[in-house]
Amino acid sequence: MTSRSQNPAGRPPGFVYRETKRGILRWGGQSILHCEDVSLPKLAAKYGTPLYVYSAAMIRERYDAFDAAFRDVPHAICYSVKANSNLSILRLLARKGCGFDVVSGGELERVLTADRKAAKKVVFSGVGKTREELSSALKAGIMLFNVESESELWALAECAGRLRSTAPVALRVNPDVAAKTHPYISTGLHKHKFGVPISEARALYAKASGARYLKVRGASVHIGSQITDVAPFGEAMARVADLVRELRADGHNIDYIDAGGGLGIAYEKPNPLEFSGYVATYARALAAPLRGLDVQLLLEPGRSIVGPAGVLLTSVIYRKENDGKRFLVVDAAMNDLIRPALYGAYHEIVSVTYGTDAATKSEVSDIVGPVCETGDFFARDRELPAVSEGDLLAILDAGAYGMVLASNYNTRPRAAEVLITGKSAKVIRRREKLQDLLRAEL
């Protein structure tokens, strides 16, 4: 890859290769992958592997790109906490003025721990909110509840009445718009569990408006995740815009339209557009149907902000060959990053160091972990420069749906997380120890 001297596979800056000088304590004749100004081998030597590494600069840059793309539209960015919920990343975004989209009481507590003032910028989504969670959100004074069923609506009214509080409500409508993505993360069709059918929304809004402790404030939609074609977003927004016009004709005050999230990233083939141009295209698709509506647009990006800002750093434990089939057994596993096992998801994997010699040998191998499951793999039949036992690999685009989906399967302690800012490296989650796993058991 000729672009490697600058960044792997044309990915945005944040993770860059830099050539080293020959000499004592140098990786002579090699290029070394860095996160901002910190080399990944140094991080591995200090903190061990597997290790999640995040670029603070890239997170900030991608947030700013969203904010700039929607500058002509009244908007609020409500980062989707489920993508990566580390407190330090939430604080980083809160300092930028970001709001948050939560889908559980636990995520709400994380936001309040990161910045209690951020509650006024929180939207609460999810199909199974409990009364305890609804009450906690009412006490916190969040901006908006995205209600997903009539039963939930009355549960919220009950909780608000008990607290003598008014709940700001939007109904999440299901527009029956198909999105080209994995079926597990598609949410906008009538067969999915999310939202209420858009054809039934007006009747439910009428019921909500008659409830003493509910206040209708908006309409919400979310059609899925990892969607790279902006056309379905525009189609869904057009249907919601038509609904809003009908609701206003019915006498409802609609201040917000929550467009959800779901904008995808380029896991495999680099996006031909710079990220700012890509988000601008997305912004135009959403904004066009809203002309003349005078609403505040709520956006819930998650993956598109933090995904490319993180890598999972892992060490090669063994090289193995079975009848000509090569394997690289690494110390990360499906419990650290489950996306390949769960979705068959592609992540680019690169050597952390590689020789400057253009004739560097390459090999085709499966990159697998040590968990006792055949599904414990990160790549199959992947061509990589030849690596040795003890070498480091970086699994790219692991900043979203990586650590948040990690588990302790096979009694494996979860990885540490490190946030890089320029030349500074900060541990934002320490590596678990076996004692941590056993402490809660009687």
Q: Write out the catalytic residue numbers.
A: 372
Strand, helix or coil for residue 65:
helix
- Non-local CB neighbours of 48 within 8 Å, separated by 6+ positions: 416, 431
| Tokens standing for residue 211 | 């409830």
- Of the candidates 295, 269, 263, the one whose C-alpha atom is nearest the C-alpha of residue 69 is 263
> Could you tell me the CA-to-CA distances from 211 to 78, 164, 246, 321 in Å, in that order?
27, 13, 20, 67
Determine the residue type at 76. Answer: A
What are the DSSP calls for 119-178, one per residue? GGGEEE--TT--HHHHHHHHHHT-SEEEE-SHHHHHHHHHHHHHHT--EEEEEEEE----
Dist. CA 146–CA 153, nearest whole Å:
10
CB-based contact 122:102 (threshold 8 Å): yes
| Tokens standing for residue 264 | 């995808």
- Non-local CB neighbours of 219 within 8 Å, separated by 6+ positions: 170, 171, 173, 201, 240, 243, 244, 247, 254, 256, 257, 258
Dist. CA 352–CA 44, nearest whole Å:
11
CB-based contact 360:411 (threshold 8 Å): no
Dist. CA 56–CA 417, nearest whole Å:
12
